[in-house]
Amino acid sequence: MKKAARFWVAGLLFVSLALVMLGCGAGDTKGKAASGKDSNAAKEKLVVGTDATYAPMEYMDKKQNIVGTDIDIVKAIAKEIGVEVEFKNYGWEPLFPAVSNGEVDLAVSSITITDERKQEHDFTDPYYVAKQVILVPDDSRVEKFQDLKDKRVSVQINTTGHIVTKELLGKTSSKIVAAETMPLAIDEMLNGNADAAVGDNSVVNDYQKNNPNKSLKVIEDDSFEKEYYGLMVKKGNKALVDNLNKGIQKIKDNGVLEKITGFEVE
């Protein structure tokens, strides 16, 4: 009797193990066409990483859904190239290794295409144009970027705002307050730990408009260059870049991109 029971337990274990292995196999071979990993599959799902703290570009709505302009843009691209997309919130800094190690197929996060980033990652064609701006209290005497020369400036860490601020204040300046997210960088300015916050106009303008009670003003400066956002993929994944570019071109041509962003991207 005991022996028989053991036989059945072993048998059951064997069968479930086989089923699990079968399941994994099926998952692995399912549609990898768009990501370029395998070309003979139908509808692929791309996993898209983001830092959903960047309203109105990518953020969490009240129901904890990842939403925003960037999200709408990726959904529109996905529709054009016939793939499904699933968004995952990674935070800003972890996003870069998540793309490199293949945890996500691509990242959308208002990521400016820069030469330095191009060494580690590949980018699609630009789909959005932005610029740095300065956010200060209404009564601040700051008028231009140079005026921040001996001031404390808050930024989101390792963003282009951080880079331009390092150029102004010095790479290791203790006057740079580098926060993990843009909202935290703005908080540093609001609580007086920084005289100004520097970040993308797409987000800073929105914050100022939606928080009239905080009495803030946004300063533009001609010394800031235009920045172009791209979708970021793992270095060498040309098939995916090509496919995404096709989608980007389509939504530029059919006016969908302009409808989402409100302006034309050259």
Q: Which residue among 33, 35, 36, 54 contacts ligand ARG (CB under 6 A)?
A: 54
Question: Considering the rule CB under 6 A, would residue 112 count as an interface residue with ligand ARG?
Answer: yes
Q: Which DSSP symbol is given to 112?
A: B
Contact (Cβ atoms closer than 8 angstroms) between residue 113 and residue 248: no
Question: Considering the rule CB under 6 A, would residue 165 count as an interface residue with ligand ARG?
Answer: no
Which of the ranges 97-105, 154-162, 187-195, 207-215 carries the binding residues for ligand ARG, by CB under 6 A?
154-162
Question: Considering the rule CB under 6 A, would residue 182 count as an interface residue with ligand ARG?
Answer: yes
Beta bridge partners of 50: 89
Q: Which residue among 35, 69, 109, 124 contacts ligand ARG (CB under 6 A)?
A: 109
Residue 104: closest CA among 30, 28, 48: 48
| Of residues 54 and 127, the one with the C-beta less far from ligand ARG | 54
| Of residues 48 and 111, the one with the C-beta less far from ligand ARG | 111
Classified as helix, coil or strand, 230 is coil
Question: Considering the rule CB under 6 A, would residue 160 count as an interface residue with ligand ARG?
Answer: yes
Strands of the chain (E only): list them: 45-50, 53-54, 58-60, 66-67, 84-89, 106-107, 121-123, 128-130, 132-137, 153-156, 176-179, 196-200, 216-219, 227-229, 232-234
Question: Considering the rule CB under 6 A, would residue 58 count as an interface residue with ligand ARG?
Answer: yes
Which of the ranges 19-27, 28-36, 99-107, 110-118 carries the binding residues for ligand ARG, by CB under 6 A?
110-118
Question: Considering the rule CB under 6 A, would residue 69 count as an interface residue with ligand ARG?
Answer: no
State in angstroms the smallest separation of the CB of 181 from ligand ARG: 7
Question: Considering the rule CB under 6 A, would residue 243 count as an interface residue with ligand ARG?
Answer: no
Spatial separation of the C-alpha atoms in residues 123 and 266, rounded to whole Å: 17
Question: Considering the rule CB under 6 A, would residue 156 count as an interface residue with ligand ARG?
Answer: yes
Which residues of the chain form contacts with ligand ARG (CB under 6 A)? Answer: 51, 54, 58, 92, 109-112, 156, 159-160, 182, 200, 227
